[in-house]
Structure 1
C-alpha cells in the first residue's frame, strides 16, 4: 500500500511538472513582446540563477573546474534554446510553440545516431516523418503556406535543444558531475548572455520591470519558481524513486498539456487540418520516443539522463 501511494505521489508531481511546462508557452506569450525578449530572459535567468546559487552555497560543496567548463558550454547552448524559443513565442501561437518544440524528442535520437554511429530503426524514421508532417499541417492550419517566422524560430529551438540534450551525458561520461552545480552554472551563463543582450537590444531590464503589473509579476514568478526551480527538483527527487524511463514518459506529456491549454485557455483558432496536425505530432513523437527507448535499452544499459527542467520554455 505504501509503495502504491508513493508511486502515485511521484506520478502526480511529474504530471504537474509536465502541465506547468505545457503552460509556459502561454505564460511567456503574456509576458513578452519582440522588444522585451532579452529583458525578460535576463530577469528570468538572474532570478533562477540566484535561487540555484543560494542552494549551492548552502550545501557548501565546491564547484569543480570540470563542472564550470561543462556548465558554461551547455549554458551557451541553453541560451540559444531560450532565445530561439522566446523570440518564436512572440511571433506564433502558444499551441504551435508547445507542439513544434516537442520535435526535440525525434531530433535528439537522430543527432545522437550521427554522433555515435548507431543506426536508428526504420520505424523511428517513420515516426519522425509523421511528426514533421503534423508540424506542416499545424503551421499551415489548412492552407498550403510555409511556416511563419515564429514557427521557424521554435523549430530552431528544437534543433538546438537536441544538441544540448545530446551533449549533456557525453560531457559527464568520463567523470561524475553534480547536476545541481551544472544547472546553476548553466543558468548563470544564460543570465550573463541575456543581461548583456538586453543592453544592446530592445527594452532594458529597468524598462521591462517598470511595465510589469501585479498579474504579470505573478506570471513571471510562476515561470521562474514553478516551471524552472520546482520542476528541476521534482525530477531529481523522482528519478531516485522510479525509473528514468518512467520519468521521461510522464514528462513527455508536455505537448499534450500545451495543446489543451493553448486551445482552451488561449483560444487558439484551428481548422480540422490543424487538429489533424496536432494528432500527428503527438502520435509521431510518442511513437518515436517508444521506438528509441526500446532500441537504446537493447543496445546499452539505461542511464539516468540529466534532468531537462531548465530547457523548458
Structure 2
C-alpha cells in the first residue's frame, strides 16, 4: 500500500468518525454547558496522548510550539462555534455547513500561499453559497443563529486545514497535535469557569459522548489528521473531509430521525457538488 493511499484511507476514517458524532455532541450539550463539554472532551484526549507520546514533548522546538499554538487557536474556534451552533440548529445542517470549509480551503491557499485560484474554484464557491442559502434560510429568509455560528466554525476549520498542510511536513506531527489539543483544553476551561458553572457530569449519556469524542474524534482523529496531512495537500485532504456532512446526515437520520426538506436536500447537493468541483483539475491548472 502506497503512503498516499494509506493517508487517504486514514483521513476517510477520521471523516467517518467526525461525521457520526454530531448527534452525540448535540444531545450531550443539551445537558452539559458547551465549554464545559469541550474542556472535558479535550482533557480526555490530552491525557491519553500525553501518556502515549509525552516524551516527544521534551524535544519540541520553538517553531513547532509556536505554530501549534496558532493552529490550536483555530481548532478551538472551530469546535467552540460548532458545538455552540449545535444548540440552535440540527445535526444534519451543522454537518453540511461545517463541510463548507472544503470550499474555503483553496481560497485561503490562494490568498495566503499565493496560489492561483482557478475558474473552477470560483464556480464552486458560487454553488456552495447557493447551497448554503437553501440549507440555512428559514421560510422568512432569515439565517438561523446556529447556522451562522456553524459557518464561523467552517471558516476556522478551513484555516486549520491550510495551516496543518503548510507546517506538518516540517514538524513532529504528534507533538504538533498534542499542543493543539492543550490549547483547546486551556481556552475551553477558562471560558467555562468565566461564563459557566463547570461540573463533573453524572449522566451516562454525557459520559458516553465525552469518551467517544475524547478518544476517537479528538485524540485519535487529530493525531491522524496532523500525521497524514503531511503526506498530502490541503485541498486533497479537504475533498476527503467533504464527505463529513454525508455521514452526519446519515447518522442524524438513523439516530434522531431528522428529516431534511426538499430545499435542504437540494442545498446539500449543491454544496457537495461545489466541494467536489473545487478539487477537480481545471484547464487553468492543466496549463500551469
Where on the TM-score scale, by shorter chain, does this alignment land: which range?
Answer: 0.7 to 0.9
Match of 2:164 among 147, 155, 168: 168
Partner of 2:99: 102
Say yes or no: does 1:30 pair with 2:24. Answer: no
Any gaps of 5 or more consecutive residues in structure 2? none
CA distance in 1, matches of 2:113, 2:5: 36
Partner of 2:154: 158
Say whether the 8 Å CA contact 2:69–2:183 is kept in structure 1: yes
Say yes or no: does 1:197 pair with 2:179. Answer: no
1:95 to partner: Cα distance: 0.6
CA distance in 2, matches of 1:74, 1:147: 29
Any gaps of 5 or more consecutive residues in structure 1? 300-313
Match of 1:254 among 227, 231, 244: 244
CA distance in 2, matches of 1:169, 1:17: 16
Say whether the 8 Å CA contact 1:124–1:291 is kept in structure 2: no
1:154 to partner: Cα distance: 0.4
CA distance in 1, matches of 2:236, 2:35: 35
Partner of 1:309: none
Say yes or no: does 1:93 pair with 2:72. Answer: no
CA distance in 2, matches of 1:161, 1:12: 20
Say whether the 8 Å CA contact 1:35–1:203 is kept in structure 2: no
1:11 to partner: Cα distance: 6.7
Say whether the 8 Å CA contact 1:140–1:274 is kept in structure 2: no
**1:245-284 equivalence runs, <5 A:** 249-284=239-274
Say whether the 8 Å CA contact 2:40–2:210 is kept in structure 1: no
Say whether the 8 Å CA contact 2:74–2:157 is kept in structure 1: yes
CA distance in 2, matches of 1:104, 1:177: 24
Say whether the 8 Å CA contact 2:105–2:238 is kept in structure 1: no
The count of residues paired between Structure 1 and Structure 2 equals: 287
Return closer, same or farther for 1:218/1:297 CA change in 2, 3 Å cut-off: farther
Q: 185-194 or 16-25: which moved more?
A: 16-25
Partner of 2:61: 64
Q: 227-236 or 192-201: which moved more?
A: 227-236
**Alignment RMSD (CA, Å):** 3.1
Partner of 2:217: 227
1:227 to partner: Cα distance: 1.3
1:274 to partner: Cα distance: 1.3
1:199 to partner: Cα distance: 0.8
Q: 99-108 or 229-238: which moved more?
A: 229-238
Partner of 1:286: 276
> Over residues 212-262 of structure 1, what are the superposed CA-to-partner deviations in whole Å (9 max), with x where a residue is unaligned?
32232122211111112222455577679x866876554432121112122
CA distance in 2, matches of 1:288, 1:17: 21
Say yes or no: does 1:149 pair with 2:139. Answer: no
CA distance in 2, matches of 1:13, 1:187: 19
Return closer, same or farther for 1:257/1:187 CA change in 2, 3 Å cut-off: same
CA distance in 2, matches of 1:11, 1:116: 23
